[in-house]
Amino acid sequence: MHRIVVLNGPNLNLLGTREPGIYGALSLSDIERRLRERAASRADLAFHQSNHEGDLVGWIQEAGLAGAGVILNAGAYTHTSVALRDAISGSGAAVIEVHLSNVHAREDFRHRSLIAPVARGVIAGFGAMSYDLALEALLEGDRA
């Protein structure tokens, strides 16, 4: 069974009420529920959210050392965190970077990702479906 860890960074606990015109109406629990339904018996999912950078660093390190795949929406840390980038490159975690919104169609400061160069790939702009696509990419990638 594939082990996949889904990590969500700062302010993603507010989904559902946070700028719904940008991030949609689903809560993080809704996203977790639909992802678990999709994964069903194909993957063993762990799902976490934190507003603290160090928590995310720890979970990435654990996933990398355990050989688990990671779906990472690092929120604003995407654009600022050398620590998250180093956790990915240092642990060898197979990470798919995801965003609900199309960050490239937004403010300039969201166009740069410190994580993308050490990620397997990036999926942005498809709302909750970004997570679904990342799950498929990880499962398919393992088969290749």
Active-site pick, 2, 23, 77, 111: 23
Q: What percent of the chain is helix, strand and coil (3-state, nearest 5)?
A: 50, 20, 30
Residue 99 is a catalytic residue: yes
Instruction: Please give the Cα distance from 101 to 49 (Å, whole number).
Output: 18
Closest-approach residue to ligand DQA (CB): 75
Report CA 57 to chain centroid distance, whole Å: 13
Active-site pick, 2, 77, 79, 99: 99
In this complex, which beta carbon is closest to ligand DQA, that of residue 94 or of residue 134? 134
100 binds ligand DQA (CB under 6 A): yes
Among positions 47, 50, 101, 134, the unique one binding ligand DQA when judged by CB under 6 A = 101
Compute the least distance from the CB of residue 67 to ligand DQA, in Å: 25
Stretch that binds ligand DQA, among 31-39, 47-55, 63-71, 94-102 (CB under 6 A): 94-102
94 binds ligand DQA (CB under 6 A): no
In this complex, which beta carbon is closest to ligand DQA, that of residue 54 or of residue 92? 54
Strand partners, 45: 4
In this complex, which beta carbon is closest to ligand DQA, that of residue 65 or of residue 105? 105
Helices 28-39, 129-143: axis angle to 10 degrees equals 30
Give CA separation, 20 vs 34, 63, 71, in Å: 18, 31, 22
Instruction: Please give the Cα distance from 122 to 48 (Å, whole number).
Output: 19
103 binds ligand DQA (CB under 6 A): yes
Residue 111 is a catalytic residue: no
Closest C-alpha to 9, from 120, 83, 66, 69: 83
Q: Provide the binding-site residues for ligand DQA, judged by CB under 6 A.
A: 11, 73, 75-76, 78, 99-101, 103, 110
